[in-house]
Amino acid sequence: MRSPRGSSQEHRSGSLSPPEVVRRFFASRGKHVLSFAGFGELGYEQAGIVERVAEEALSRLPRESVMVQCGTLLRVGGEDGIAGVFAVAHRLGIETAGIHPGVALEFASTHRVSPHEDSVFFVHDDLWGGFVDHDGRPSATLALILEVSDELVAIGGGKHAADELRAFRRAGKPVRYVPAEMNRRAVGEWCARTGVALPDVRGAAYEAWLERTDAES
């Protein structure tokens, strides 16, 4: 764990943090932890949506009593996506922290932490977060995010955001979902490079949210 703001975007921690260390850190801060999830490197079609929603969500609580947490890394050559919440919090004077999967350390040249993360944690996780299987068993990363967070704000989002949304809902923790679309240009370029069919630009989190509304109707 390191906390120098404004440092380079290289990983600021080259080792894994045991879960108990992460738990102790968040407990010691004594703050309301607001986690964010959404689209990553493919970004957003709606310019400024991350900044607008983040500022609105963070305005509900005194700045000194809230902490922003986001598990999304910056991808070299990609959009900031939901990781842009770190810059918003930094500008507002709100403390930030990121809980990231340890597998990302193997891709330090392309997957980097935001320079606006005050505290950075990598946990042992051979996946990239989300659920481990179709039974909804959370990965080590998601389990810790869920444990230390008080609520979740999801702005659009793909599979991992959908998994976080479902996990928070099952745990009975407050969830806010804001519909958003992936950046169509970035998605088109990605599909052309990878040969993958064009996905629903609303993202998998949209379907996860519909599960909730269908259950409540």
pLDDT at 215: 60
Query: Residue 195 corresponds to which amino acid?
Result: G
Taking Cα atoms as reference points, which of 175, 25, 10 lies closest to residue 105? 10
Number of CB atoms found within 10 A of residue 181's CB: 18
pLDDT at 8: 34
Q: For the chain, how far is it from start to end, CA to CA, in angstroms?
A: 44
Number of CB atoms found within 10 A of residue 119's CB: 21
pLDDT at 19: 96
Contact 28, 150 (CB under 8 A): no
pLDDT string in tens for the chain (217-residue length): 334 343 333 445 568 999 999 999 999 999 999 999 999 999 999 999 999 999 999 999 999 999 999 999 999 999 999 999 999 999 999 999 999 999 999 999 999 999 999 999 999 999 999 999 878 899 999 999 999 999 999 999 999 999 999 999 999 999 999 999 999 999 999 999 999 998 999 999 999 999 976 666 5
Number of CB atoms found within 10 A of residue 107's CB: 13
pLDDT at 136: 85
Q: Quote helix, strand, coil % in the chain, to nearest 5.
A: 40, 20, 40
**What is 19-216's CATH number?**
3.40.50.450
Q: If you compute the radius of gyration of the chain from its CA atoms, what whole number of angstroms results?
A: 16
pLDDT at 15: 85
* H-helix segments, 68-126: 85-92
- Does the model's pTM come out above 0.85? yes
Domain ranges of the chain: 19-216
